[in-house]
Amino acid sequence: MKDQYGRSIGYMRVSVTDRCNLRCIYCMPAEGVPCVQHGDILTFDEITRLCRIGTEIGISRIKLTGGEPLVRRGLPELLRMIKELPGIEQVTLTTNGILLKEKINELVSNGLDAVNISIDTLEAGEYRRITRGGRLEEALAGMEAALRFPDLRVKLNCVPMQGMPEEGYVRLAELARDRDMDVRFIEMMPIGMGREYGYVSGEQIYRILEDVFGRAEECAGSFGNGPAVYVRFPGFRGKTGFIDAVSHQFCDRCNRVRLTSEGCLKPCLQYGDGTDLRLLLRSGADDGKIREAMYRAVYKKPACHHFGGKTSGASGDGAAAVSEGEEIQQKDETRDMSQIGG
């Protein structure tokens, strides 16, 4: 469907949990976030129902995310339930990779189309520091396991932080030289803990890589569901991508909405507001009523975020769930990325 600004919205990021087996310093406080009670999290049947109703308003691509989606028991089964829905073309996953090696066979046989793996550095000590205790070799084993499936698209995501050594970006980018995978650099967004770390722009990263690998060729066309710009360095098998969410606003091309693990449909990452679909699901609403609420939420998607501080937002006094698709008031998001579903 098209929203009020004429953008086609066909992609829904679905957070299946706000829990995580890592504590990345820019995403979560050291002690973790107060966990949502089990009963407040949408069940697999509820998530699948919302995806099915979503197809009726044009949602055809689903990304499973979190928190860490693979810590939710039975995740491959949820993937299968969604993938079997008529109208769903693609189900993908974003993960830190720690549990990927043990789950990849089942994920692929249940229909996984692509996986994004988040690894910010290839230096084990630095990885442990950033993730507060994570073991790099486990994430890399997950990545290599995913690469053994030739039909599975694999991307590695890095969120550069100010102060990280430049050499680290070069080593990460180099993974795409001999492997059939893309390596992407995502600007740190001022969301949750991310506000405490400055972003490094895609342009800065490109210059660092160009000095080492030479001038890259721009890749035409769209790859995946997002706003990444891709280039290919000479002799590389895979592409290098840049998601410049802060330095280059791409809201005019935004194609997505987000469903939190508690069933709040969020039309824009930055704003705290959303539509409480769990309330509808659990109060016995029929498909038509839920479809109408989803339609209204998507239709009213805000024109743009203001990460760069270009437009003035509302006061930032917290996340508010708006019931049943009421007028969306644009309050800044105060939750962490792990709670929203990054």
- What residues have CB less than 8 Å from 338, skipping those under 6 apart? 18, 20, 27, 28, 33, 66, 67, 192
Using CB under 6 A, pick the residue from 14, 16, 27, 53 that binds ligand SF4.
Answer: 27
Using CB under 6 A, pick the residue from 9, 50, 52, 68 that binds ligand SF4.
Answer: 68
What are the residue ranges of helices labelled H in 99-257?
Answer: 100-109, 124-131, 136-147, 166-178, 202-213
189 binds, among ligand SF4, ligand SAM, none (CB under 5 to 8 A by kind): ligand SAM
Helix (H) or strand (E) holding 47: helix 44-56
Residue 183 binds to ligand SAM (criterion: CB under 6 A) = no
Q: Minimum CB separation from ligand SF4 for residue 262, in Å?
A: 16
Q: For residues 197 and 116, what is the distance between their CA atoms, to the nearest angstrom?
A: 22
23 binds, among ligand SAM, ligand SF4, none (CB under 5 to 8 A by kind): ligand SF4
Residue 120 binds to ligand SF4 (criterion: CB under 6 A) = no
Residue with Cβ nearer ligand SF4 (3 or 120):
120
Nearest to 88 by CA among 14, 18, 5: 14
> Site residues for ligand SAM, window 77-136 (CB under 6 A)?
94-96, 118
53 binds, among ligand SF4, ligand SAM, none (CB under 5 to 8 A by kind): none
Nearest to 277 by CA among 95, 117, 40: 40
Query: Which residues, listed in sequence order, are joined to residue 264 by a DSSP beta bridge?
Result: 276
Residue 337 binds to ligand SAM (criterion: CB under 6 A) = yes
> Site residues for ligand SF4, window 3-22 (CB under 6 A)?
20, 22
Residue 66 binds to ligand SF4 (criterion: CB under 6 A) = yes
State the binding string over 48-77 for ligand SAM (x if CB under 6 A, else -).
-----------------xx-x---------
Residue 208 binds to ligand SAM (criterion: CB under 6 A) = no
Q: Cα 43–254–23 angle (5° rounding)?
A: 50
Q: For residues 55 and 52, what is the distance between their CA atoms, to the nearest angstrom?
A: 5
Helix (H) or strand (E) holding 294: helix 287-299
Q: Minimum CB separation from ligand SAM for residue 127, in Å?
A: 12
Residue with Cβ nearer ligand SF4 (66 or 190):
66
Q: For residues 271 and 311, what is the distance between their CA atoms, to the nearest angstrom?
A: 13
Cβ distance 290 to 282 under 8 Å? no
Cβ distance 311 to 305 under 8 Å? no
Residue 121 binds to ligand SF4 (criterion: CB under 6 A) = no
Using CB under 6 A, pick the residue from 9, 14, 15, 23 that binds ligand SF4.
Answer: 23
Residue with Cβ nearer ligand SAM (27 or 50):
27
Residue 270 binds to ligand SAM (criterion: CB under 6 A) = no
Residue 28 binds to ligand SF4 (criterion: CB under 6 A) = yes
Q: For residues 15 and 212, what is the distance between their CA atoms, to the nearest angstrom?
A: 37
Residue 189 binds to ligand SAM (criterion: CB under 6 A) = yes
29: which 2 tokens?
Answer: 């406080």
Residues near ligand SAM, by CB under 6 A: 20, 26-27, 65-66, 68, 94-96, 118, 157, 159, 186, 188-189, 191, 194, 337-338, 342
